[in-house]
Structure 1
Amino acid sequence: MQTLPVADRFAYSNLGTDTTIHRRKTRPVAIGSVIIGGNNPVVVQSMINEDTLDIDGAVAGIRRLHEIGCEIVRVTVPSMAHARALAEIKQKLIDTYQIVPLVADVHHNGMKIALEVAKHVDKVRINPGLYVFEKPKPDRTEYTPTEFAEIGEQIRDMLEPLVVSLRNQNKAMRIGVNHGSLAERMLFTYGDTPEGMVESALECIRICQSFDFHNLVVSMKASRVPVMLAAYRLLAQRMDKAGMDYPIHLGVTEAGDGEYGRIKSTAGIATLLAEGIGDTLRVSLTEAPEKEIPVCYSILQSLGLRKTMVEYVACPSCGRTLFNLEEVLHQVREATKHLTGLDIAVMGCIVNGPGEMADADYGYVGKTPGYISLYRGRDEIERVPEAEGVAKLIALIKADDRWVDP
């Protein structure tokens, strides 16, 4: 059987036979109390949209995200004042809530800002395409190897203070390459391509390695899913070939909002996770940041990478269905959605029900009009009137000591 292309140090699942996701082997990188990579679960991130100068608003935004499961929170620091405000934000979190792992975005050539913010956060995210401004030359025919190397040395000199500061504080950096903001020489040499994105990241990684700094996470974000997929796959292959075991941050940037934004993000992120690529993720929606977290966990749960909620198995309904399946599924979900680690099946009839729900912890199956059968695993426990079905399901879960009150 033909297998998918593989990077040297990890393998995709063999088509049709292996149901296990084989994650790429990466080094653990600490972001405060949260570890990205290694054998740790895939980490969920998001970003507040409050102005960092609004101390109370920023603290409230960080807390809202953290309370619903966001494990690392990012903030933006466009000025020195914003960087200094992070000291107050961090202290207020400690005083009124708890320590939350924080990441700061430094989007442009602002080394003083980056050095200040590095004192107050656990990770600094930089975009290597924005660190040396190269004005396009209309008559340029090439970048000579000497020119290319000289600009690389400029970037190395510019990044050195930040790299050394983060290294000495045992903090982390995300090398966040964006498809839409590649440096001029990368665009000229490689075009607006995944190759240019990967070369930009590898250059920055090598700079960090030259200062013996390895607390790195790398991302290859693009707004088009095929570009994002190609860039991340190439990054994983190139890093593995070079012996670089750095964790990867996944995301489709500027995915939009609503159903399409969620589908677009899932198409990119879930595809790579299924191939073993990815150690942390953010779903970027043009909505309140809190709306991103359920999508992240749904992606991870559907792939079996994390189990943070009930997994519901339900048939699509057909002419054999013996009750209002949509309504009953809603009732079961509302009664049990606060639980974690359970699989609950709601099946409309006996034809496929027991077989399709064989791996579920509990089953709710229509057998005869007006009655449903409750299952524990593969075993039928009792047949009860449909009106009592949800209450009896809850009683069964309680009897097994797997119930917790909402």
Structure 2
Amino acid sequence: MQETQSHSKFLYCPSLTKYQRRQTIEVKIGDVPLGGNNPIRVQTMTISDTMNTPAVVAECIRLIEAGSEYIRITAPSIKEAENLQNIKKELRKLGYTTPLIADIHFTPNAAELAARIVEKVRINPGNFADRKRFEIIEYTEAEYQAELERIREKFVPLLKICKEYGTALRIGTNHGSLSDRIMSRYGDNPLGMVESALEFLRIAEDEGFYNIVLSMKSSNPQVMVQAYRLLVQRLQEEGLKPYPLHLGVTEAGDGEDGRIKSAVGIGTLLEDGLGDTVRVSLTEDPEYEIPVAKKLVNRYTEREKLQKPIPAIENYPINPFAYHRRETCEILNIGAKNVPRVIADFSTFEKIEMDDLKKIGHFYLPATDKWAMNDLGADFLYLGNKSVPFMLPNGLQAIQDYQVWLKQKTEKAYPLCNLTEYLSCNDFSPTLNFLLLDVDSTDLQGELLHRLQNEKKSWVMVLKTGNPHALPAVRALVVRLIQNRIDLPVIIWRSYCTQDLEQLQIDASTDIGGLLLDGLGDGLMISVPNELISEGNSLAFGILQATRTRITKTEYISCPSCGRTLFDLQEVTAKIRKRTDHLKGVKIAIMGCIVNGPGEMADADYGYVGSGKGKISLYRGKEIVKRTVAEENALDELINLIKEDGKWIEPV
């Protein structure tokens, strides 16, 4: 069992059971202040060439009218930074006062110029004063301090300009672009990310500059969540000011995957009261990012009023800064080292036919009288009080309500019992049984506690809650299981009635994904309207993929477009996906430019990076293996590289 630690050691979260926003200082960003008592803001980034003033202005207007409260514009060099003045002038002339943010990488002089023009400047501490070479460098303490002095010399001029012009500053760490200095001393991990920001933050505080926002972005939601938590923890431990947080999962991708990954990372932190502004990074036109961000944020506008009381967690046995799956016993194919299982809910179907199973990845082939299954084949089928008039495929097993199961006891079917049935009956399956517990009313003591602590190894708990503050409600009960040394596996069951697929993706990814990120689940069941069964099944596997707890498909780490992009990201991503989406478990990074290229590919197997107009560089992990490949040949060359490594399989 995990070691129980005092909750007082964990300062990252205002409360583990009651929703309340973390109190931060207020940061002035033009006329739209951030943090403090202000609402959670939403923002996005332009994709037009910064030198094309009319295009950027038109795009800004579209984004503002879509609801973006800040607009970020890339300024990779002095000329783009200078042109921010023209962009701002045109927008103000048209009556738009939305604060503008300059996005800076590698060029301190561009940052200094931009700070005189726009309301906020974003710098990346990994490349503001360093050039990444992926080198291991051993520093003596004196040499390390000399490096910090070098950074101070480059950083202080920007701080003085920000002070003079009232410009806000975001110190935005990216997991993939940590400096060699940080990597060598702290490692490629959340601690390295936090230290990268703190180096700059300590200098800023020494200079008396506090108009700062912080971010810890990664394409891996697990790393991203741990880094933000650790950052808040370290701010408190060091007595630094409680700065507002900009939340985002970088290179989230597009479509369903991008929305799920963003919601898993951002939503998990919002649940714990962390976050003051949100940017959802989709490989789509930025107008499509705003509705997703708004749906994430709007979940918390009334949360304090709507939430139901949850018993407080006095001692927290989970390490929130590192992933450890809760230790459970193995029951059939659930728990222990088994991948989390997916249960499809067909209990509201009037009649279940063979063709219905296509919606959950199981296909009947009449010609051979056999079943086939794809990578998104559900593991269990919940039938409620019904049965199926045909034999289920080998890869699928049934769950029935206890009284129905008791009468039928068919092969490959297992009972779901309520609490009364569990405590009063004794005729159960010798192999596998499911116990449904209402999280909101379960009193884990007395006979129930005694039974669960001494249970024969055939029971799996299904935890269901109606609390709008669902994640902490389930977390609180699982914590009590750990504290009482109950090691039975847990299935998380959430029901949704919305017809809005995007809202469903956001809600489920947040409610369930956050628990999986902390290792608190052995399976999930997402109940949705019958017409969304297929989408619900895909969503379940997508959540497992995003939390890195069960990999069932190719993963694409794809950056959102911006003014630095050297090719059409949406078009190229679609082409690469079409040729490679059958490569289960392979991670492919698709990067529009060198800024986020080799860095954010730290978590990928292969990288496809824009290196010039019509030119692509290909990477194996962090190593560049082919330079300046003509774009028309680059996808074939990428596939050849995968074949060389023996990871290619021909599509069926």
TM-score over 0.5 for the pair = yes
Partner of 1:376: none
State the secondary structure of the residue aligned to 2:281.
coil
Unaligned runs of 5+ in 2: 305-345, 351-464, 469-652
Q: In structure 2, the residue corresponding to 1:128 is in which secondary structure?
A: coil
1:111 matched to 2:108: yes
Aligned ranges 1:2-401 → 2 under 5 Å: 7-8=10-11, 10-14=13-17, 18=18, 21-108=19-106, 110-133=107-130, 140=137, 142-243=138-239, 244-304=241-301, 318=348
Following superposition, the deviation at residue 100 of structure 1 comes to 1.6
Give CA-to-partner distance per residue, 1:189-237, whole Å, 9 cap, x none.
1110110110111110011111110000000000001000110000011
Supply the distance in 2 between the matched residues of 1:176 and 1:223 (Cα, whole angstroms): 14
Q: What secondary structure sits across from 2:33 in the alignment?
A: strand
AA matched with 1:62: C
Instruction: Measure, in 1, the Cα distance between the counterparts of 2:149 and 2:348.
Output: 66
Structure 2 CA distance for partners of 1:96 and 1:7, relative to 1, 3 Å: same
8 Å Cα contact 2:57/2:87 also seen in 1: yes
Q: What amino acid is aligned across from residue 104 of structure 1 in structure 2?
A: A
Residue 114 of structure 1 and its aligned partner are, at CA, apart by 1.3
Comparing 110-119 with 266-275, greater Cα deviation is found at 110-119
How far residue 135 of structure 1 moved from its aligned partner, in angstroms, is: 7.0
Distance 1:305 1:6, change over 3 A: farther
- The alpha-carbon deviation at position 241 of structure 1 amounts to 1.7
Report the residue type matching 2:220 in the other structure: R
SS of match in other structure, 2:23:
coil
Alpha-carbon distance between aligned partners in 2 of 1:8 and 1:281, rounded to the nearest angstrom: 22
In the alignment, the residues of structure 1 paired with residue 64 and residue 100 of structure 2 have an alpha-carbon distance, to the nearest angstrom, of: 11
Shift of 1:137: 9.2
CA distance in structure 2 between the partners assigned to 1:193 and 1:265 by the alignment: 19
The answer as to whether partners of 2:108 and 2:129 remain within 8 angstroms in 1 is no
RMSD across aligned C-alpha pairs, in angstroms? 2.8
1:115 positional shift: 1.5
Divergent runs of 4+, >3 A: 1-10, 134-140, 303-307, 316-320
Specify the alignment match of 1:382 in structure 2.
none
TM-score, with structure 1 as normaliser:
0.71
Are the aligned partners of 2:135 and 2:180 in contact in 1 as well (CA < 8 Å)?
A: no
Work out the CA distance in 1 between the residues paired with 2:50 and 2:303: 31
Provide, for residues 355-398 of structure 1, a one-character-per-residue CA deviation record: whole Å limited to 9, x for no partner. Answer: x99x9xxxxxxxxxxxxxxxxxxxxxxxxxxxxxxxxxxxxxxx
**Cα deviation code 1:62-113 (max 9, x no counterpart):** 11111111000000001211111111111100112321200001111x2221
Alignment deviations for residues 112-168 of structure 1 (CA, whole Å, 9 cap, x no partner): 21121111100000011112336769685x311111111111010101111000011
Distance, in Å, in 2 between the alignment partners of 1:302 and 1:137 is 41
| Counterparts in 2 of 1:285 and 1:145: CA distance versus 1, 3 Å | same
Letter of the 2:182 counterpart? M
Cα contact 1:132–1:155 (8 A) shared by 2: yes
**Structure 1 unmatched runs, 5+:** 308-315, 321-355, 360-406
Determine the C-alpha separation between the residues in 1 that align with 2:16 and 2:235: 20
The residue type equivalent to 2:252 in the other structure is A
Q: Secondary structure at the match of 2:96?
A: coil
AA aligned opposite 1:12: S
Matched-pair contact (CA < 8 Å) for 2:246–2:278: yes
Identity %: 46
The 3-state SS of whatever aligns with 2:216 is strand
Question: What's the secondary structure of 1:120's corresponding residue?
Answer: coil
